[in-house]
């Protein structure tokens, strides 16, 4: 499987955002919230609190509320003619193409252009209309914002930091922690220290060797003093009013893990683009992150509006808030995960299976530059690094469903000798200690629209030439008249490509062109049979192992391997039920 990021880019709305200055200024006037207009608790909060109290997990607190603070500290005066101002697409003249291309690889986006855009540019307020009227509590917890970076582009790193400083209510922003994951660029050393020294809230932590984003986040979390941790990628722009809606959810229930809507900052023209509504994070096999719209019926059934929190089976990974104590109760991240990838699956499964919830909060919006490639080096092979991370996650969290992970192109990872995944004891212990629910529970309750059949096919194995079914009796295989009631005729064709009855698997023996029965073992390649099922052939196809086909003898007294001949019906097999191709 090639690991790509194609799925991970949010679908950008067909219609462009309103880059209208007027609208922007209109919103920006709404600074009243800074001094908290104390209005009675009503509407949204009340409705939500009632809804939440149904599960008894929320402590109802009686404090004041105010309208969400929609401030943007550097709003005026602003140079309306600056490049990229208000999130508009910025253009470079054609004679600059060469320099754009030359500097592209510094960050795998238009670095040349980014450097010309003000570090505190305005962006359009893309929240649904009702968001600015929402009420949040006066005594929200404070947060530490943690940015990890390795060789981040100067202008995008600064823009990320400024967007937090300018658009977060100061009393809620405990600090900004920049974790430098052993960058090599000179400007990220003394010049960055110097630049950030003008902001007392910004702290820089320097890692002494490259740790990867997962352990870098752990280092940031360990140093954090806020009650809530807020993780962000280092090439983002937080939008107006982004923070309070996140903290409000944590306040209502410390086991809620809210994520902002991640909008798209174009890698080419750096414009700020809206994404579709009702999007949630999902995964497909083999644990590939993606976005998918909530099912229409679900939206109707729950009377959802575009500003309601969206339950989210998995998070994208980079942008979320979490109660600091809760983060540690969950065992934080598996520190054995390297560099990049998989940690979003790990924390998502952990949160849901161990009693928490992940939500996307449409009233909180943060732009992110989606890049075609990672602009930094992986200490080891990228593909292998990500695969190893995913195997760790699969082995700890997926239970019997890990077969689906391996079965989607990762069979080779079952060979532990070739793939050292490190020690998992602590992670497995943690799951036990936290008494987390099963992966089946997660699928049934959190992601019911996920199709996850445990076997690819099951039932009788009918041979077309012989017109009889395979049977396993007294430890050996034979053919019998098909009889649905006989358990001896029931086999599974698994994701690991085993033809299996209980613990026994059909194995090919290349020397003798025969077969044998063996105890099923994941790592043995001789137990894997490639079985293509296609509707066109009425699901009757071959079992292929080592380029040879499983064949029944004409009298039904043998079962052997033979050269594959498409017209040979004694090589055609059919299971009763097929759950997946
Ligand atoms: O070794 C590293 N050390 C780091 O500090 C590698 C990366 N990093 C930093 C890096 O500088 C950046 O700030 O970690 C951050 C994330 O790395 P990216 O931007 O290269 O990741 P990404 O945006 O391609 O990938 C997404 O998936 C990752 C899986 O490990 C992380 O969870 C990222 O945080 C995550 N990004 C998002 O969720 C933003 C939305 C993208 C989507 C979908
Ligand atoms: Mn990123």
Q: What is the pLDDT of residue 417?
A: 84
Position 209 confidence tier, pLDDT thresholds 50, 70, 90: very high
Residue 451 is given by DSSP the state -
Position 452 confidence tier, pLDDT thresholds 50, 70, 90: very high
Position 10 confidence tier, pLDDT thresholds 50, 70, 90: low
Position 363 confidence tier, pLDDT thresholds 50, 70, 90: very high
Is it the case that residue 324 has pLDDT exceeding 60? yes
Q: How far is residue 175's CA from residue 324's CA, in Å, rounded to a whole number?
A: 14
Least confident of 43-47, 99-103, 334-338: 43-47
Position 22 confidence tier, pLDDT thresholds 50, 70, 90: very low
Question: In this structure, what is the dihedral angle of CA atoms 96, 97, 103, 109, given to the nearest 10 degrees?
Answer: 120
Average pLDDT of span 192-213:
98
pLDDT in tens, 454-496: 999 999 999 999 999 999 988 889 999 999 999 999 999 999 9
Average pLDDT of span 17-27:
39
> To test ligand 1's pocket by mutation, which of 233, 238, 372 has the most ligand atoms within 8 angstroms of CB?
233
What SS3 state is found at 426?
helix
Q: How many residues does the chain have?
A: 581
Q: With a 6 A CB cut-off, is 389 part of the ligand 1 pocket?
A: no
The contacts of residue 452 (CB under 8 Å, 6+ apart) are 285, 401, 404, 443
Name beta bridge partners: 545.
548
Whose tokens are 């683009």? That residue is 273
Least confident of 82-96, 97-111, 383-397: 82-96
Is it the case that residue 541 has pLDDT exceeding 90? no
Q: What is the pLDDT of residue 510?
A: 65
Average pLDDT of span 509-523:
81
Position 525 confidence tier, pLDDT thresholds 50, 70, 90: confident
Do the beta carbons of residue 550 and residue 493 sit within 8 Å? Answer: no
Is it the case that residue 301 has pLDDT exceeding 70? yes
Q: Cα of 99 to ligand 1 centre, how many Å?
A: 26
Average pLDDT of span 293-314:
96
Pairing of strands 573-578, 65-67: unpaired
**Nearest residue to 327 (alpha-carbon basis) of 343, 308, 309, 310:** 343
Position 393 confidence tier, pLDDT thresholds 50, 70, 90: very high
Mean pLDDT of the chain: 89
**Atom nearest to 236 CA in ligand 1:** 39
Token readout for 34 is 């800074």
Q: Cα of 261 to ligand 2 centre, how many Å?
A: 14
Average pLDDT of span 279-286:
97
Is it the case that residue 97 has pLDDT exceeding 70? yes
What SS3 state is found at 501?
strand
Q: What is the pLDDT of residue 538?
A: 55
Task: Report the percentage of the chain scoring pLDDT > 90.
Answer: 77
**Nearest residue to 305 (alpha-carbon basis) of 56, 49, 47, 69:** 47
Q: How far is residue 392's CA from residue 431's CA, in Å, rounded to a whole number?
A: 13
Q: What is the pLDDT of residue 5?
A: 44
pLDDT in tens, 224-240: 999 999 999 999 999 99
Token readout for 287 is 């644990």
For the chain, counts of helices (H) and of strands (E): 15, 27
Is it the case that residue 162 has pLDDT exceeding 60? yes
**Atom nearest to 318 CA in ligand 1:** 34
**Is the confidence metric ipTM above 0.90 for this complex?**
yes
> To test ligand 1's pocket by mutation, which of 154, 183, 340 has the most ligand atoms within 8 angstroms of CB?
340
More confident residue, 556 or 85: 85
Is it the case that residue 29 has pLDDT exceeding 50? no
Position 542 confidence tier, pLDDT thresholds 50, 70, 90: confident
Q: Which ligand is nearest to the CA of 319?
A: 1
Average pLDDT of span 179-205:
98
Q: What is the pLDDT of residue 7?
A: 47
Do the beta carbons of residue 531 and residue 573 sit within 8 Å? Answer: yes
Q: With a 6 A CB cut-off, is 229 part of the ligand 1 pocket?
A: no
Average pLDDT of span 65-72:
93
Token readout for 71 is 């401030």
**Atom nearest to 211 CA in ligand 1:** 1
Helices (H), 152-189: 154-167
Q: How far is residue 336's CA from residue 425's CA, in Å, rounded to a whole number?
A: 11
Q: With a 6 A CB cut-off, is 262 part of the ligand 1 pocket?
A: yes
Average pLDDT of span 348-377:
97
What SS3 state is found at 15?
coil
Can you give the pTM of this predicted structure? 0.90
- The alpha carbons of the chain give a radius of gyration, in whole angstroms, of 28
Do the beta carbons of residue 410 and residue 392 sit within 8 Å? Answer: no
Nearest residue (by CA) to ligand 1, atom 4, is 213
């Amino acid at each position: 499987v090639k690991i790509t990021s194609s799925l991970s880019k949010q679908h950008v709305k067909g219609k462009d955002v309103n880059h209208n200055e007027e609208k922007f200024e209109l919103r920006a006037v709404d600074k009243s919230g800074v001094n908290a207009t104390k209005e009675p608790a009503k509407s949204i909060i009340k409705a939500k609190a009632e809804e939440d109290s149904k599960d008894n997990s929320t402590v109802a607190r009686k404090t004041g509320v105010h309208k969400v603070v929609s401030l943007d500290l550097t709003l005026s005066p602003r140079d309306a003619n600056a490049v990229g101002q208000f999130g508009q697409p910025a253009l470079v003249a054609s004679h600059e193409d060469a320099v754009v291309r030359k500097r592209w690889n510094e960050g795998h986006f238009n670095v040349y252009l980014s450097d010309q855009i003000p570090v505190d540019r305005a962006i359009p307020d893309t929240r649904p209309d009702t968001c600015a009227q929402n009420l949040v509590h006066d005594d929200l917890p404070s947060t530490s914002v943690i940015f990890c970076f390795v060789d981040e582009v100067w202008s995008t790193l600064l823009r990320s930091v400024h967007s937090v400083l300018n658009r977060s209510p100061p009393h809620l922003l405990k600090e900004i922690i920049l974790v430098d994951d052993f960058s090599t660029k000179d400007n990220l050393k003394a010049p960055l220290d110097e630049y950030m020294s003008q902001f007392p809230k910004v702290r820089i932590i320097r890692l002494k060797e490259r740790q990867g984003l997962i352990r870098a986040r752990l280092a940031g979390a360990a140093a954090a003093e806020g009650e809530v941790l807020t993780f962000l990628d280092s090439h983002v722009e937080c939008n107006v009013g982004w923070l309070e809606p996140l903290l409000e959810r944590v306040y209502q229930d410390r086991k809620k893990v809210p994520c902002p809507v991640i909008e798209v900052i174009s890698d080419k023209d750096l414009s700020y683009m809206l994404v579709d509504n009702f999007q949630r994070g999902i995964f497909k096999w083999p644990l590939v992150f993606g976005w998918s719209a909530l099912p229409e019926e679900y939206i109707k059934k729950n009377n959802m509006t575009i500003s309601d929190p969206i339950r989210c089976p998995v998070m994208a990974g980079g942008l979320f808030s979490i109660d600091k104590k809760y983060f540690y109760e969950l065992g934080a991240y598996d520190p054995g995960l390297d560099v990049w990838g998989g940690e979003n699956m790990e924390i998502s499964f952990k949160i849901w299976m161990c009693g928490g919830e992940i939500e996307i909060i449409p009233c909180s919006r943060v732009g992110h530059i989606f890049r075609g490639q990672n602009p930094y080096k992986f200490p080891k092979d990228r593909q292998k690094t990500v695969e190893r991370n995913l195997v760790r996650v699969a082995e700890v969290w997926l239970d019997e469903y890990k077969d689906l992970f391996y079965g989607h192109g990762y069979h080779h990872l079952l060979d532990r000798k070739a793939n050292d995944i490190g020690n998992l004891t602590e992670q497995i212990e943690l799951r036990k200690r936290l008494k987390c629910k099963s992966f089946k529970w997660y699928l049934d309750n959190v992601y019911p629209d996920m199709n996850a059949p445990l076997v690819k096919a099951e039932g009788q194995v009918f041979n077309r030439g012989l017109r009889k079914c395979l049977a396993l009796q007294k430890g050996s295989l034979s053919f019998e008249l098909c009889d649905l009631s006989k358990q001896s005729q029931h086999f599974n064709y698994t994701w690991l490509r085993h033809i299996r009855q209980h613990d026994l698997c059909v194995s090919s023996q290349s020397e003798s062109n025969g077969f044998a029965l063996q105890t099923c073992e994941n790592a043995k390649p001789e137990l894997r049979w490639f079985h293509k099922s296609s509707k066109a052939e009425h699901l009757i196809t071959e079992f292929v192992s080592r380029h040879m086909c499983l064949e029944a003898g004409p009298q039904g007294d043998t079962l052997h391997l033979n050269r594959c001949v498409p017209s040979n019906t004694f090589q055609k097999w059919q299971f009763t039920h097929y759950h997946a191709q």
